[in-house]
Copies of this chain bind each other. A is one copy, B any other.
Amino acid sequence: MSAHDMPMSGSVDMTHGGGGRAMAELIRTLFNKHFSNPILDQGNDGALMSLPPGRVVISTDGHVISPLFFPGGDIGALSINGTVNDVAMMGARPLYVAVGFILEEGFPMADLERIVVSMASAAKAAGVTIVTGDTKVVEKGKGDGVFITTTGIGVVPEGVETSGSKARPGQAVLVSGTMGDHGVAILSKRESLEFETEIVSDCAALNGLIADMLAAVPGVTTLRDPTRGGLAATLNEIARASHVGMMLDEDAIPVRPDVHAACELLGLDALYVANEGKLICICENHDAETLLAVMRAHPLGRDAARIGTVIEDAAHLIQMRTGFGGTRVVDWIAGEQLPRIC
């Protein structure tokens, strides 16, 4: 191991956010080292770039997850993948990411480097470039290690018109895989629970999967990632924005058996638990089988399933036929089940 590859030592102090030499050194030896690319390396307070023609999407997301490191990921990978996904759900090809760090005084530099390396790796995997950033430091006790706000920018291909407000009765409701993995992985880690098999977060960038789906069916109606509030909150948002209801089939919603068991133990409902590598797709009924085939052919969509149908409903309710033959309303969650899950 060369000196260049030694883990960084020491910890974050107030000078790293002061705008002087210590901050410049941190940028040079940590952020620019791992994120280096021609746009970032210009060294300005912002990034200058050319975008391909088309409508532009911008999305921003703060990440305050606790714990910072968890089975299947960390705040760094999550901050890149979450924003890549938000941009991709708008039908756009994600291209560039801006990163804002808020660091707490005393945070170990080695942990910060681990997070930065994870971000660089996630960006590379997703095919996006980190083009600009900012670092602030707050006193010990005024933050929680590290918060990361990422902003993504992308361009929508001609002909793509996805929206959360255009779902229509008769359309199919699909999901790309199992529900609840991320939230249960975080909570298990937080509560130090041990299961027979470790439950890992599904944290992943879905832009590749979406590109395949849009190549097959450019007219996909809605793409959304069921993060905070899980499947239930996201479907309710779509129903409200589109002035429709939905009828789901409980038995069709994929949930891993270990996640199901953990939810029972923790008193959670997997439909309300956050996902970080799954999507909801609403499409014309006649496109459903084509899209399911495309999704199942992708590593991140192997467990894709049709879980329900959009229906007319003036009350915009999400209803679900249960395994026992009844029907129940999948209401908005009133508060939150899991704080600081993303």
- Tell me if A's interface is mostly helix, strand, loop or mixed: mixed
CB of A62 within 8 A of CB of B335, answer: no
Query: Which of A111-119, A127-135, A189-197, A199-207 lies on the face that meets chain B?
Result: A127-135
Q: Which residue in B55, B59, B99, B335 is a CB contact (below 8 Å) of A14? A: B335
Q: Which residue in B19, B55, B89, B332 is a CB contact (below 8 Å) of A233? A: B19
Known: A24-B332, A332-B24, A335-B18. A57 touches B51 (CB 8 A): no
Report the Cα distance A56→B336, complex, angstroms: 38
Known: A20-B233, A20-B332, A58-B131. A46 touches B89 (CB 8 A): yes
Least CB distance from A223 to B in Å reads 10
CB of B136 within 8 A of CB of A64, answer: yes
Q: A45 at interface (Cβ–Cβ under 8 A)?
A: yes
CB of A56 within 8 A of CB of B51, answer: yes
Report the Cα distance A335→B105, complex, angstroms: 14
Render A33-69 as a binary contact track against B, CB cut-off 8 A, 1 for contact. 0000000001111111111000111111111100000
Query: Which of A139-147, A245-253, A261-269, A301-309 lies on the face that meets chain B?
Result: A139-147
Q: Interface size (A, Cβ < 8 Å)?
A: 82
CB of B335 within 8 A of CB of A44, answer: no
CB of A339 within 8 A of CB of B99, answer: no
Report the Cα distance A58→B39, complex, angstroms: 11
Which B residues touch A96, using CB under 8 A?
A: 58
CB of A58 within 8 A of CB of B334, answer: no
Which B residues touch A62, using CB under 8 A?
A: 100-102, 134-136, 149
Contacting residues of chain A (229-250) with chain B, CB-CB under 8 angstroms: 229-230, 233, 237, 241
Q: A227 at interface (Cβ–Cβ under 8 A)?
A: yes
Report the Cα distance A30→B6, complex, angstroms: 48
CB of B51 within 8 A of CB of A132, answer: no
Q: Which residue of B lies closest to A133 (CB)?
A: B60
CB of A22 within 8 A of CB of B149, answer: no
CB of A336 within 8 A of CB of B153, answer: no
CB of B22 within 8 A of CB of A339, answer: no
Q: Which residue in B60, B153, B241 is a CB contact (below 8 Å) of A134? A: B60
Report the Cα distance A134→B337, complex, angstroms: 19
Q: A340 at interface (Cβ–Cβ under 8 A)?
A: yes
Q: A270 at interface (Cβ–Cβ under 8 A)?
A: no
Contacting residues of chain A (327-342) with chain B, CB-CB under 8 angstroms: 332-340
CB of B64 within 8 A of CB of A24, answer: no
Report the Cα distance A341→B164, complex, angstroms: 40
Q: List 14 A-B contacts (CB under 8 A).
A: A17-B64, A18-B333, A18-B335, A19-B230, A23-B228, A45-B89, A46-B152, A50-B56, A60-B133, A60-B149, A60-B151, A102-B149, A137-B339, A143-B143
Q: A29 at interface (Cβ–Cβ under 8 A)?
A: no
CB of A20 within 8 A of CB of B132, answer: no
Q: A156 at interface (Cβ–Cβ under 8 A)?
A: yes
CB of A102 within 8 A of CB of B132, answer: no
Which B residues touch A44, using CB under 8 A?
A: 89-90, 163-164
Report the Cα distance A42→B59, complex, angstroms: 13
Least CB distance from A273 to B in Å reads 11
